[in-house]
Structure 1
Amino acid sequence: MASAFEKLKATLADLQDEIERDLAERRANLRYRYERGRVVFEQDVRAKHRAARVRLGDFLRAARPAVILSAPVVYSLILPFVLIDLWVSLYQAICFPVYGIQKVRRADHMAFDHRHLAYLNGLQKLNCLYCSYCNGLVSYIREVAARTEQYWCPIKHARRLDGPHEHYPVFVDYGDAEAFGSQSARLRKALRK
């Protein structure tokens, strides 16, 4: 008999499938498809997108001065992001094989498809590239950290977390020393799949 937790996981999986079906329907309604790593819009849709594009000069004139002045601060974060990207990738390359943890595929967390949107001007596409990289990187780092936590310390916290990673639900309950002793090896082994 399935536990309440397993039933909830199955319900969640069903809901995720339903969301994916809805997203597929929306993609069809927006008349694009994904072919060999490239987004392809129907020709008339692409023409409408080009017509909706705001020219760069108009875009900049409409921007508030504070937004323009704050842009260098936003973009200055690229340096620490690239550094942490390199460091986390190096960490994973060295440590995960030692611990027997399956490596996180960085590409699974990175999506740079906004460049195919003809309604964005060059600056908007650059902004999207930046945000896609930073958010993809955070997702990648979170997965590396989650697998590390599952290997070393798969224990839930005493208080509720807002948005825990997807490995968290299988961690042992806070204060359950017996489960930590008996389940840690199983949770480590699960990382090898």
Structure 2
Amino acid sequence: MQTKLEFLLDKIKVLENELVDELQKQQEEFAYEVTKRRVYFEENVIIRHKEYAKHLFKYITDAKLKHIISAPFIWMCIFPVILMDVTISLYQAVCFPIYGIPKVKRQDYIVFDRQYLNYLNLIEKINCAYCSYVNGLFGYLQEIAGRTEQFWCPIKHAKRIKNLHSRYQKFTDYGDAETYRSKLELTRHDFNDL
């Protein structure tokens, strides 16, 4: 029998899928289509977008001083982020086959598509690529960590947590020793929903 918590988690999953479907409807509204991971706009939309592009010189001269000063601090994060990307990808490549955990597809999380927006100038496109990479990487890391946690310690927390990862609903309840021991091996390999 499904618990109320499992019911709510399933409901959240359904709503998340519905949200993604709704977001995809923007393709019709803004006249673009995605083919083989590339975005194509109608020609009249491209022309209209170019009218909204802010020229580089104007973009730089309009920038606030505090934004210019903070930029190196934002960009210096790229080095630990790349190291984290390499490390976690190597970890997954080596360990997931050993544990029998399905690998996380990096391309499902790290998406570069804002370069097709003609209303962005070069600096904005570079900044958008950076944000896409870092935020996508964090989602990729969370999914790898969630699958790892499902294998090694699939127990829900007693304390309230701010954000649940995608595997959390598979975990046994905190304090339920009997279920943990009796279903640990089953839970470790329960990736049928992927």
TM-score tier after normalising by the smaller chain length? over 0.9
Task: Using the TM superposition, give the Cα deviation of residue 143 of structure 1 relative to its aligned residue in structure 2, in angstroms.
Answer: 0.8
Any unmatched runs of 5+ in structure 2?
none
Task: Using the TM superposition, give the Cα deviation of residue 24 of structure 1 relative to its aligned residue in structure 2, in angstroms.
Answer: 3.2
| 1:104 paired residue number | 104
d(CA) in 2 for partners of 1:161, 1:191: 23
| 2:148 paired residue number | 148
| 1:179 paired residue number | 179
| Residue 39 (1) aligns with residue 46 (2) | no
Structure 1 vs Structure 2 CA RMSD: 1.8
| 2:68 paired residue number | 68
Any unmatched runs of 5+ in structure 1?
none
C-alpha distance after superposition, 1:107-150 (max 9, x if no partner): 11110000000000000000001111101111111111111100
| 2:137 paired residue number | 137
d(CA) in 1 for partners of 2:98, 2:180: 22
Deviates more, 1:110-119 or 1:18-27: 18-27
* Secondary structure of 1:190's aligned partner: coil
| 1:29 paired residue number | 29
CA contact (8 A) 1:151 1:191 kept: no
* Secondary structure of 2:33's aligned partner: strand
d(CA) in 1 for partners of 2:182, 2:91: 28
d(CA) in 2 for partners of 1:129, 1:30: 21
Fraction of identical pairs, as percent: 41
C-alpha distance after superposition, 1:159-192 (max 9, x if no partner): 1111110111221111111111112111112147
* Secondary structure of 1:34's aligned partner: strand
Shift >4 Å, 4+ stretches: none
* Secondary structure of 2:102's aligned partner: coil
C-alpha distance after superposition, 1:37-71 (max 9, x if no partner): 21111111111110000011111111111110111
